[in-house]
Amino acid sequence: MRRSPGLRRLWRWIIPIGGGLLSAIVIVIGTAHVAWYLRLVLAVIAFLYIGGQSAAYLWSSHADQG
């Protein structure tokens, strides 16, 4: 069974979003002694950086072609 292009595109975004969320959660858990607003800033930076790196890699690889 072949997946539709839209479904493939959706799955392609799950990895970067999942990785970004996981890194943000680890930052929040690992910095329990830090003020909440600094934890929030660190979590957002981690989400954007890790998610962005993963998305850029997947976008440039074109691994699902063919």
Residue 66 lies in a domain: no
Task: Give per-residue pLDDT as tens, 26-66.
Answer: 988 999 899 999 999 999 998 888 888 877 777 776 655 54
Domain count, the chain: 1
Rounded distance between C-alpha atoms, residue 27 and residue 31, angstroms: 6
Rounded distance between C-alpha atoms, residue 62 and residue 66, angstroms: 9
Given a contact cutoff of 8 angstroms between Cβ atoms, the answer to whether 48 and 13 are in contact is: no
What is the residue range of 26's domain?
5-61
Q: How many other CB atoms are found less than 10 A from the CB of residue 55?
A: 17
Q: How far apart are the first and last CA of the chain?
A: 15
Q: Report the range out of 15-19, 20-24, 53-57 with the highest average pLDDT.
A: 20-24
